[in-house]
Amino acid sequence: MKRLAFGLGFSVLMLSCRTTEPPTTTAIAVSTPAVTRLETPTVIQPTRLESASSAPTSTTTISVQQAITDLQAQRTSEGLKVNLPENILFDFDKAEIRPSAKPTLQKLSVLLKTYQTAPSEIHGHTDSKGSDDYNQGLSDRRAQAVKTYLVQNFQVNGDRLTPKGLGETQPIVPNAKPDGSDDPEGRQKNRRVEVIIRNTAP
């Protein structure tokens, strides 16, 4: 009987030891806080980016002022006047826009779009070399070429652009020196396209 009682007691002791072993769930418990920590930055970062992108900018104002400066535009009683020398726009005695003239005409388009309700005139001018009829025709073609280029390349409203050739009739400096001899520098200044954006004088 003592042996039987001893055996039963030992069996109960062993069972109680087995039931008190702690469950091995350490790996599951550790993974939970790691997920929570990773979620926080993804909520904050987009908010900062959205707030920065909504800040107002003055790009348009800077572009207009830069265009006025680069083109040396002048405010006159007629309006905003821009003089474009022949050698910037055309080859000698030609009426086709040079590829290198694009940046200059792009700046002009900025002004025309800024003053989009103002009627504008494009005047072609020549020097006094050649016949009156020839110079008139060349100045007409050059004024029209500038208008066409602005409309086709920069989507300027052509309805408010009036091209007009003035030939050699309105020089800004004499074509000859005081002694009557030829003045190449003076003639070069007279070969130009003049753009007047009306109703923009202060």
Q: What was the pLDDT predicted at 52?
A: 29
In a domain, 162, yes or no: yes
> Largest alpha-carbon pair distance within the chain?
152
Instruction: Take residue 170 and report the two structure tokens written for it.
Output: 């309105």
DSSP structural state of residue 99: G
Inside any domain, residue 73? yes
CB 191 within 8 A of CB 85: yes
What are the pLDDT digits (tens) for 156-185? Answer: 999 999 999 999 999 999 999 999 999 989
Residue 190: both structure tokens together: 């007279």
Q: Which residue has the tokens 């790009």?
A: 59
List, in order, residues 6 or more apart from 45 with CB less than 8 Å away.
none
Mean pLDDT of 62-68: 85
Residue 50 is predicted with a pLDDT of 30
CATH number at residue 106: 3.30.1330.60
For residue 4, being part of any structural domain is answered with no
C-alpha dihedral over 91, 97, 99, 103, to 10 degrees? 110
- The reply to whether 152 falls in a domain is yes
Q: 68 falls in which pLDDT band (50, 70, 90)?
A: very high
The pTM score is 0.67
Answer whether residue 3 shows pLDDT above 60. Answer: no
Measured between alpha carbons, how far is 57 from 196 in angstroms, rounded to an integer?
29
Q: What confidence tens digit (pLDDT) does each residue in 6-44 have? A: 454 555 445 454 544 555 544 444 444 444 444 444 333
Residue 106 lies in a domain: yes
Tell me what the pLDDT averaged over the chain comes to: 78
The per-residue pLDDT for 24 is 52
β-partners of residue 27 are none
Q: Is residue 37 part of a domain?
A: no
Between the CA atoms of 40, 42, 43 and 48, what dihedral angle is there, to the nearest 10 degrees?
A: 120
pLDDT band for 51, please (50, 70, 90 cuts): very low
Q: Is residue 150 part of a domain?
A: yes
The reply to whether 46 falls in a domain is: no
Q: Which pLDDT score is estimated for 63?
A: 84
Q: What is the span of the domain harbouring residue 156? A: 59-198
Q: Count of domains in the chain? A: 1
Question: Given a cut of 50, is residue 69 above it in pLDDT?
Answer: yes
pLDDT (0 to 100) of residue 199: 79
